Structure 1
């Protein structure tokens, strides 16, 4: 308990420092690829959710404290096709350098596709490409019912000949109940800074302070997820008041355990719902659903979510064991 108390104190100090340094709105932040769910199950439960599941290899990318040294000899991949030739893909694997300190390696790639280049008069001068890359390395240590994890990230954004880099880390502490199926997590996400070439300006990384809980009633085939996000700056939601303000910081999700080999997921992201709302109509923005099929050496996952009416996002994932 003394070790965990010191850990919480450390996270609180870092939180306070980051709150002072990142009092910015989301529109003033860079590298939004860091806000995208890294895998289909995370997208299906809501992109702000913390996933704590030893069977899901991608889970450590949302909660590094859940890294497990038993998750070796596995690899996971995710792919999503977006509009206008854009694609989003991810991959991860876990190495057991030491049983107490497993090492997770993850890669994310957001390809914006080919774009037309024009001069000042509007005449075509060819094409160019744009893309974002994220490489992340994480490790964790378990102390009885408590765990601590850290992820270091390098992110690169490239548009034609212009580019910028960012360096960030995630700090995560988790409590796992010894008998009940209950997790409580504190996550400080994207603590870091961005750099750019001479003559270019940068904006802050999308820092996020979250608390999350996961609970499964003993005799109910449903696991519930609740996350409060962006706690470091409640004023990021200027113009939203009352219940809508709370809703914009809230994410909820559920795993419906129909069978040991088949699960359904449903989620709601309040921040996305409120930001895309137009005249009190949200076009179902913020809602998501998906499924996961668990076989002996293979897992297939799928998520359906959307940012606009009439164009849902399809996110597929594959996990292989050997």
Structure 2
């Protein structure tokens, strides 16, 4: 009875999130939403697979941020800690823990904190008024229910953003679903992320939209091959996510006329997709490669891409610890380093 009730609640959450997503489909991405940090990859594995993945299922507890339906028995008792060294002084830390109860099911708890460093404040006359900080964090609780080959899950989150003593608060929810093939290494995942409402604004007026993202993807490892491929589509609630800089100069044709860039159907489609690959050398060593087309198109320079949108990662298991590292390239000015360490606490505190 309890499991039936939990399954019904999660199903209702999935349906409600989908309906809200369809109503919010006109929202623009990039600079038009609050709490955009919630769409940043929080773990080395997720960043190594291109920054978006809803179907790569293993024992990495930090993947609950990618899709709550990725919770599974291999994560039970696992604590994952992540650290991201972004550009300049921006740092992010993340923690995730998954546990399974005897009657209430499988749960995950996650906390992520993003600090932008210290900034100097000036008045209108240009006089220094000291320094101020900018930081954001989110606390989430995930509940997952598995029946046969299907998993349904939901996450409730509380997010807080602070700028120079001014704070904004939002309540959000993620809903996810996963199909795992009974005999093959093949998964299909769907998630609706960051459906919610801004409870408190910075100024007390003008509520901002949340960073909604509907993602659908699949992962497959062909039999007798050490490779697992993933393809993920993001921002499915909005078809056109192409941004063209109105200040960008166009090319000059043979008639000395400026030809400005135009949106194409192919580019609109391609910007929705992220490709990831995992080279499984052994159970203790994996290599990862990711490509995010949207990042490459939006963050490259006019003359060169400088690796924008690419990411390279590695996973190593040493004794009871799993260590993950990813270097993700966002811009010619530098790349970000992701570190994740995980350990199963059940074996650590197991009696005698």
Question: Is 2:30 aligned against 1:18?
Answer: no
Instruction: Output the TM-score relative to the length of structure 1.
Output: 0.92
Q: Would you say the 8 A contact 1:69–1:94 is kept in 2?
A: no
Task: Provide the residue aligned with 1:272 in structure 2.
Answer: 295
Does 2:331 match 1:308? yes
Q: CA deviation at 1:232?
A: 0.7
Tell whether the 8 Å contact from 1:69 to 1:100 is kept in structure 2 after alignment: no
Residue 14 (structure 1) shift: 3.7
Aligned positions of 1:151-230 closer than 5 A? 151-194=155-198, 195-197=200-202, 199-230=204-235
Q: Deviations over 1:12-45 (max 9, x none)?
A: 6642432223411112111111111110010010
SS of residue paired to 1:33:
helix
| CA offset digits 1:135-174 (Å, max 9, x no partner) | 1110100010111010111111000121111111111111
Give the whole-Å Cα distance in 2 for the aligned partners of 1:10 and 1:137: 14
Cα contact 1:300–1:317 (8 A) shared by 2? yes
Which SS does the other structure have where 2:331 is aligned? coil
1:111-150 paired onto structure 2 within 5 Å: 111-150=115-154
Q: Secondary structure at the match of 1:65?
A: helix
- Mean Cα deviation higher: 237-246 or 111-120: 237-246
* Preserved CA contact (<8 Å) 2:110 2:141: yes
User: Residue 239 of structure 2 contacts residue 269 of structure 2 at CA under 8 Å; is this kept in 1?
Assistant: no
Tell me the alpha carbon deviations over residues 82-129 of structure 1, each in whole angstroms, 9 at most, x when there is no partner.
233221110111122336621100110100111101111111010011
Q: Which runs of 5+ in 1 are unaligned?
A: none
Unaligned runs of 5+ in 2: 1-6, 245-262
Partner Cα separation in structure 1 for residue 11 and residue 298 of structure 2:
31
- The answer on whether the counterparts of 2:300 and 2:331 sit within 8 Å (CA) in structure 1 is no
The RMSD of aligned alpha carbons is: 2.2
Contact 2:75–2:98 (CA under 8 A) maintained in structure 1: yes
Secondary structure of the residue aligned to 1:83 is: coil
Q: Distance in 1 between matches of 2:46 and 2:103?
A: 26
